[in-house]
Amino acid sequence: MNTPVSRVETRVQKISDMCAENALLEIPCYQRPYVWPARDVEKILQDIRQAMERGQKQYFIGTLITASHGHKGGHHFGYELIDGQQRMTTLFLIALAYSALEPDSALAQFARRPGDASDIRLNFAIREQVQDLLRSWLNGVLPPALSIEDPYVKCLVTGLDAASAFLTAQKERGGLEAFGNYLFNCVQWVNNIVPPGTDLNQLFTALNTNGVQLEASDILKARLLEMVPARQRMSYDAIWQACENMDVFFEDNLRQVFPDADWQDYNYHALKKYKAAKFKIDESNPISTPALGIQDILAIQAVQDGSTRLYQPLIAITYEPNCAVRLT
């Protein structure tokens, strides 16, 4: 009896395809912050412009690994970004900056949520304050006061500023519309969509990328947090961060992560046992390194060259002429 073969569906996609599918982009609960500096945002924009000026029909930005949710054409269809969230967030920021200059353009639609032009296409599972910030930018409203020194927000701000400056200069030199059309129709990536029911732990073991390498503590942290009730994960994540940062005094870490705690009432014995009432999280202040779950550790972003390599300790990979990927 033959065992059914699971397939990773592989597609070449463009921004125009995402808009045609009405697809949302989901950033998982414990994905790491957006970390591209301004120079990397400028570099990808320069490379895309050079490709356009050379007459290249396509410009590839690398590969994604995603899990799809919902049904195509439905209001809740989207891709959970397992690998590639840095690049896709960068494309989103570029579209967001472009929408401020050309709000009725096709590219501007990539920044907007299908069915709700006042909301954003990018969805952060538990980062509501980041969601509100990006939504404010989309609608031309001054965002609420947030510390841009926090890594989760800082790179989003500098990335958007870099994209805005580049596109404004492009408009002044002429050719902004052509550049926007090229971004919308010619910038491509390979989307590897894992099949439903994929054993993500097993896939993580088999996955190797050229991106940031995880520490063993990241994996331990993810496994431990899976056992914590969802409503308490942010608090435990913050406590973990306070403990793992060895660059400053532990007390300073705690004061930064839990600014509302009454430290006059604390002593050694008070800290020996977790009490939710004493460790309240200020959710308007994004913590710097959100926890990674096993789902999100599958592939850490290969920023350098966009390549993703699968090797075989547990899963054999074969590529077939129809572009499907066979997992056995």
- 235-261 pLDDT, tens digit per residue, is 777 777 667 666 656 566 666 666 666
Tokens of 191: 């989307």
Whole-prediction pTM value? 0.62
β-pairing, 207-209 vs 24-27, is unpaired
Q: What percent of the chain lies above the pLDDT cut of 70?
A: 55
> What are the DSSP calls for 54-111, one per residue?
TT-S-EEEEEEEEEEES-TTSTT-EEEEEE-HHHHHHHHHHHHHHHHH-TTSHHHHTT
102 within 8 A of 111, measured Cβ to Cβ? no
* CA–CA gap between residue 246 and residue 320 (Å, rounded): 49
* pLDDT at position 250: 57
Cβ-Cβ contacts under 8 Å for 301 (sequence gap 6 or more): 83, 84, 85, 86, 87, 209, 211, 212
* CA–CA gap between residue 109 and residue 19 (Å, rounded): 7
* pLDDT at position 314: 27
Q: Nearest-5° angle of CA 161, CA 162, CA 166?
A: 115
* CA–CA gap between residue 182 and residue 187 (Å, rounded): 7
Q: Which residues pair with 308 in a beta bridge?
A: 209
Question: Is 265 in a helix, a strand, or coil?
Answer: helix
* CA–CA gap between residue 210 and residue 307 (Å, rounded): 7
Containing H/E element for 262? none
* CA–CA gap between residue 227 and residue 126 (Å, rounded): 18
* pLDDT at position 42: 96
Residues belonging to the chain: 328
Q: Over the chain (328 residues), what is each successive 10-residue block's mean pLDDT?
A: 60 92 81 85 95 93 83 68 87 94 92 82 74 78 58 83 95 94 95 76 47 54 73 73 63 64 63 63 46 39 34 29 33
Tokens of 64: 């994604």
84: left (phi over 0), alpha (psi -120 to 50) or beta: left
218 burial via Cβ count (<10 Å: 0-12, 13-18, 19+):
buried
* pLDDT at position 264: 63
Report the candidate in 208, 213, 236 with the shortest Cα–Cα distance to residue 313. Answer: 208
Instruction: State the average pLDDT for the chain.
Output: 71
180 within 8 A of 105, measured Cβ to Cβ? yes
* pLDDT at position 16: 95
